[in-house]
Amino acid sequence: MSKEILMVAEAVSNEKGVDQEVIFQAIEQALSTATKKRYDEGANIRVVIDRETGDYDSFRWWDVVADDVMAELGTQFTTEEAHEKDPTLAVGDTFEETVENIAFGRIAAQTAKQVIVQKVREAERELIISRFVNRIGEMLNGTVKKVTRDHIIVDFGDNAEGLLPREELVGREIFRINDRTRVILTSIRDDTRGPQLLVSRAASEMLVQLFHIEVPEISEGIIEIKGAARDPGQRAKIAVKSKDARIDPVGACVGMRGARVQAVSNDLDDERIDIILWDDNPAQLVINAMAPAEVESIVVDEDSNSMDVAVSEENLAQAIGKGGQNVRLASELTGWTINVMTMDQAQEKQQEESLNVVENLMTALDIDEDVAIVLVEEGFTSLEEVAYVPLEEMIDIEGFDEGIATELRARAKDALLTMALASEEQLANAQPAEDLLTMDGMNDALANTLASKGIITMEDLAEQAVDDLMEVDGMDEETAAALIMTARAPWFVDQGE
């Protein structure tokens, strides 16, 4: 029996690639389970196998409980019962005795096999997770093992398999069993059947990794990929930047006669790839990203993180792209909302906005339309600009002198002060919402203080940072963090649903 245990441990360990200790523990558990079946009542059994010889011993043990507690039959002793075994035993101690070993051969085909299989599965699961948990976002090479209507199973070797859903394929790709393929590991899902490696060929990282392979300058760190956006199987945009002024990053990625970019495209079902020169100036980056369309003018609105891009009438369709593809990819690549329009539309919008600014300046500064128009034409579009730009810039406007400039600045500052006071009064009169008042950890005084700072609801509080609340008298970081997390609790409930 001893030799048989050692043989089983070695054979299963070699076959499954797991440590022999896992197999020994599985056999011990199997022997314990089989030994328990000897007893009508419940029994605590443990089995210890000598890792060197394969010999094993079986033990039964009882927990000692107080006399006034109803002891569980077969697994617990009262102190009175325990003292019959050993007078030194006290409540909380354990009494253990050796029992007859059950033969290993009698359970090998039943309990032991089940437990060993389960233990091996658990060990394999932990092994696979440990191998791949730090490789999320990397490209993996595998072989197609199974093809179904919904997904493809990719084998990476050593019992590791990837699930490639149909929606994560590129274009009209068709795979057959034993085909070699490259995929991106996106996540690891652990379920009852074992860890599932979720992979994709449609992820933007797939494009990035392929360029790393095809363009040595990228893998060497000379050229940096700053961003990528894809419409898998159809079109993609990738922004690149060179750390060496002597190297053209776009040319390096295109390659001689387009060989490098074509190699990447071939791997992605002939996906069309636009290689964009990165620019730290957001406006220039958007202009580059709109290629091949030529941009006539661009207006940046930092407050809304958007840009109005004007193109000629004949370039409009190209700028937008089929189904809005070109502008959508450019927007995703740059991180800016891009509004494409013709030059006529841009001029109309600009005129409309200028009229609104003129009306606002006329009302706030109590000036004639002609004066307001002059200010707008000179680039003054807000009260802040009128109030705080250097006085010399306003005096330089044709028809203005120091007296006019000083008066306009004073009126602008008065208007801003009036608006600020009105805003403060509105906040001072603000009442906290019911959900903020009744929130855990909140009191009326604190809720009213928060409301006076524009934090009216739990949602308002949830969007704050700890530093934002430190302006409240008597607030400390721990309390602020606790309040914010309480306010954010509904977010996590919604995500769970």
CATH of the domain at 444: 1.10.150.20
pLDDT at residue 209, rounded to an integer:
92
The number of folded domains in the chain is 4
Least confident of 8-12, 216-220, 283-287, 304-308: 8-12
How far is C-alpha 169 from the geometric centre of its chain's CA atoms? 21
Position 109 pLDDT exceeds 70 = no
315 plus 347 within the same structural domain = yes
Position 292 pLDDT exceeds 90 = no
Position 138 pLDDT exceeds 80 = yes
Residue 373 lies in a domain: no
* Confidence label for 200 from pLDDT (cuts 50, 70 and 90): very high
Which among 97, 121, 145 is the end of a domain? Answer: 121
Residue 469 lies in a domain: yes
The 10 Å Cβ neighbour count of residue 430 is 16
Least confident of 118-127, 210-219, 245-254, 338-347: 118-127
pLDDT at residue 222, rounded to an integer:
93
Alpha-carbon distance of 159 to 333, in angstroms, equals 37
Top mean-pLDDT range of 294-303, 362-371, 381-390: 294-303
Position 428 pLDDT exceeds 70 = no
* Confidence label for 497 from pLDDT (cuts 50, 70 and 90): very low
100 plus 24 within the same structural domain = yes
109 plus 21 within the same structural domain = yes
pLDDT at residue 489, rounded to an integer:
84
Alpha-carbon distance of 77 to 86, in angstroms, equals 11
Residue 13 lies in a domain: yes
Mean pLDDT (the chain, rounded): 84
Mean pLDDT of 154-179: 86
How far is C-alpha 236 from the geometric centre of its chain's CA atoms? 22
Domain membership of residue 196 as a residue range:
133-200
Top mean-pLDDT range of 21-35, 96-110, 279-293: 279-293
412-416: list long-range contacts, CB under 8 Å, 24+ apart. Answer: 412/364, 412/365, 412/383, 412/384, 412/386, 412/387, 413/387, 415/364, 415/365, 415/383, 416/383, 416/384, 416/387
Which among 64, 91, 121 is the end of a domain? Answer: 121
114 plus 40 within the same structural domain = yes
28 plus 81 within the same structural domain = yes
Tell me the CATH number at 167. 2.40.50.140
Q: Which has the higher per-residue pLDDT, 158 or 144?
A: 144
Q: Which has the higher per-residue pLDDT, 45 or 103?
A: 45
Position 480 pLDDT exceeds 80 = yes
Alpha-carbon distance of 355 to 373, in angstroms, equals 8
pLDDT at residue 214, rounded to an integer:
92
Position 451 pLDDT exceeds 80 = yes
Position 108 pLDDT exceeds 60 = no
* Confidence label for 495 from pLDDT (cuts 50, 70 and 90): very low
Least confident of 120-129, 168-177, 336-345: 120-129
Residue 316 lies in a domain: yes
82 plus 182 within the same structural domain = no
pLDDT at residue 14, rounded to an integer:
78
Residue 415 lies in a domain: no
Quote the percentage of the chain above a pLDDT of 90.
Answer: 24
Q: Classify the C-alpha dihedral 146-147-149-151 as positive or negative.
A: positive
Quote the percentage of the chain above a pLDDT of 70.
Answer: 92
Q: For 40-63, write each residue's pLDDT tens digit.
A: 778 899 999 998 888 889 999 999
pLDDT at residue 343, rounded to an integer:
87
pLDDT at residue 493, rounded to an integer:
61
Residue 295 lies in a domain: yes
* Confidence label for 243 from pLDDT (cuts 50, 70 and 90): very high
Alpha-carbon distance of 273 to 128, in angstroms, equals 35
Position 322 pLDDT exceeds 70 = yes
Mean pLDDT of 433-446: 86
pLDDT at residue 13, rounded to an integer:
75
Position 425 pLDDT exceeds 80 = no
Alpha-carbon distance of 240 to 450, in angstroms, equals 46
19 plus 113 within the same structural domain = yes
137 plus 98 within the same structural domain = no
Mean pLDDT of 300-326: 88
308 contacts 301 by C-beta, under 8 angstroms = yes
pTM reported for the whole predicted model: 0.58
Position 383 pLDDT exceeds 70 = yes
97 plus 148 within the same structural domain = no
Position 184 pLDDT exceeds 70 = yes
Mean pLDDT of 453-478: 84
Compute the CA torsion angle 99, 105, 108, 112 (nearest 10 deg): 10
Question: Which of 19, 61, 23 lies closest to 42, judged by CA?
Answer: 61
284 plus 324 within the same structural domain = yes
182 contacts 267 by C-beta, under 8 angstroms = yes
pLDDT at residue 448, rounded to an integer:
83
438-446: list long-range contacts, CB under 8 Å, 24+ apart. Answer: 439/483, 439/486, 439/487, 440/486, 441/479, 441/482, 441/483, 441/486, 442/483, 446/472
Alpha-carbon distance of 2 to 441, in angstroms, equals 64
Which among 180, 200, 220 is the end of a domain? Answer: 200
Position 107 pLDDT exceeds 60 = no
Position 430 pLDDT exceeds 90 = no
pLDDT at residue 114, rounded to an integer:
67
pLDDT at residue 337, rounded to an integer:
92
pLDDT at residue 496, rounded to an integer:
46
117 plus 148 within the same structural domain = no
Residue 391 lies in a domain: no
9 plus 112 within the same structural domain = yes
Tell me the CATH number at 14. 3.30.1480.10
Alpha-carbon distance of 329 to 336, in angstroms, equals 11
Question: Which of 308, 388, 387, 294 lies closest to 346, judged by CA?
Answer: 308
Residue 165 lies in a domain: yes
